[in-house]
Structure formats: C-alpha cells, structure tokens
Amino acid sequence: MTTDWLQLRERPTLVVGAGGLGGAGAQALALAGARVLLADVDADHLEAVRLRVKEAGAEITTVQVDLRTPDACRTLVLDAAERLGGIEVFLHAVGKNVRTPVLDLGDDDWESVLTLNLSTAYWTAQAAGRVMVSAGYGRMVFCSSVSGLLAHANHGPYAATKGGLNQLLRVMAREWAPSGVTVNGVAPGYIETNLTRAYLDKDGNREKLESLVPAGRLGRPAEVADAITFLASDRAAFVTGQILYVDGGRTLV
C-alpha cells in the first residue's frame, strides 16, 4: 500500500525520543518518505531504531543528546534545522514514569519527571515553533497519555506532566494556527513496548490492564505510530489543538 497520500515524502522531520513510541513513530515517518533526524540520550535505542528502519527499506539519521537543559534542547533544534534544511514535522516522545504514591514521592522524583516529560517538550517545541512559524508551515505531534485525563493511582508527577502537556499544546495550537502550524497530541492507553514489558510481565499487571480496556487487549506501538503519521501529514491540515486517544476504549469506562 502506498503512503504517498500522506504527503510526507522528503519532509524534514525531527523526532525526539527513540524509546518505544518515539522509535515506532520515527520508523513510520521514515517509511512514509520523511527525512528523519532522531535524537535520544540512549545510543542503544538509537541504533536499534536505525537498524529496524534500514531493514524495512528506509533510512534515518541519529544523534545522541541529553535534553534535560534548555540549551541542549534549543541547540538540537537549530542543528536539526540546519542539517535538514528546515523542520516541517516535529514529534516529541520523551518521557518516564515513577510509580509511587504521592505521600512517598521525593522532590528529586518530582523534578526529574517534570523536567523530562514537560520541560523538554516546552524547550524543544518553542525552538521548533520559531522555525515553523517563520516558514509558514509545520506539523507538531506530542506523545501524551490517557493519564492526562484519568486519575491513575501512583502516577502523580506523570499525570501532572501529561495534563500540563495537553494544555501547553492547545495554547501553542491557538497561537500558531494563523501561521500554518498545527499542534496535536496522541494519548496512548496501555501499550506494550520494550520499555513496559518488564512491568507488564510481573504481578499480573498485564491481565489487570487488559481487563480495563473494552477492546480486551493492549495496544501496539505501530497503532500509535499510525495516529502520529496522520497528524503529521497534510491529511490533518485542519486538525489542531486536539488530543487523539489511541486506547482501545479505555477512556470510555
């Protein structure tokens, strides 16, 4: 099946985060013809995605970078724009969770999750937004979560960052819409990735989560990547400020 209808061919694309969903998104965008620069702090994740993409018949460029400071984020975006000849598609898929009750959380846990999940999104998006607004075109997609809507126990800082991210992207969408820039989020439900498999495989967690999903199963990274490629494409040109839930119906119950 051809993917030309997405009109992503040769689009200069920056993807931040090579973990499960970021890697899947980078692969899907590359296979749709985009010129992808993938950034992550983990060299092994970067190489694994590069090899998967190559085996599937496409190419991506990778760069190892720690994005936990404003300067690192802004430098990455500027370097990517120079290497790619601009940035027309941007995907932020960086994040982590600390599964701890609020009363047991330490300050370091709170700060580290907020910095990685929310601050990096702001720093990179602000820099990419300047590039896109100046060019009069852009597609931004952020990986949010059903935790931005649902009150999961032991997810305090994670839920706070995803709820904050949802509102941040809506404000950016409102401000940048006149400049031809769309800003949207995908909010996955329970997705099985290499990063979540260890948690799912202990204490009956897989079965517990599956029982909460009307579809009766966990999601696959490729299913989230399909939503990402749609929102990154010109097929979604009139869609902005939206959170697309990819959750098998989890938020319905």
Name the residue range of residue 90's domain.
7-246
How many C-beta atoms surround the C-beta of residue 123 within 10 A? 21
Amino acid symbol at 24 = A
Contact at 8 Å (CB) between 168 and 119?
Answer: no
- Domain count of the fold of the chain: 1
Whether 2 maps to a domain, the answer reads: no
Whether 98 maps to a domain, the answer reads: yes
| Closest to 188 measured CA to CA, from 134, 241, 146, 240 | 146
Distance (Å, rounded) from C-alpha 7 to C-alpha 122?
Answer: 27
Whether 252 maps to a domain, the answer reads: no
Can you give the CATH number for the domain in which 30 is found?
3.40.50.720
Whether 196 maps to a domain, the answer reads: yes
What does the pLDDT read at residue 193? 84
Place of tokens 């984020």: 73
Is 245 one of the annotated active-site residues of the chain? no
3-class SS shares of the chain: helix, strand, coil, % to 5: 50, 15, 30
What does the pLDDT read at residue 196? 80
Options 122, 137, 158, 190, the catalytic residue:
158
Tens of each residue's pLDDT in the chain, 253 residues: 445 788 999 999 999 999 999 999 999 999 999 999 999 999 999 999 999 999 999 999 999 999 999 999 999 999 999 999 999 999 999 999 999 999 999 999 999 999 999 999 999 999 999 999 999 999 999 999 999 999 999 999 999 999 999 999 999 999 999 999 999 999 999 999 876 888 888 889 999 999 999 999 999 999 999 999 999 999 999 999 999 999 999 999 9
Whether 55 maps to a domain, the answer reads: yes
3-state secondary structure of 131: helix
Hey, what are 174's tokens?
A: 């409102």
Whether 48 maps to a domain, the answer reads: yes
Amino acid symbol at 22 = G
Whether 101 maps to a domain, the answer reads: yes
Whether 57 maps to a domain, the answer reads: yes
What does the pLDDT read at residue 1? 44
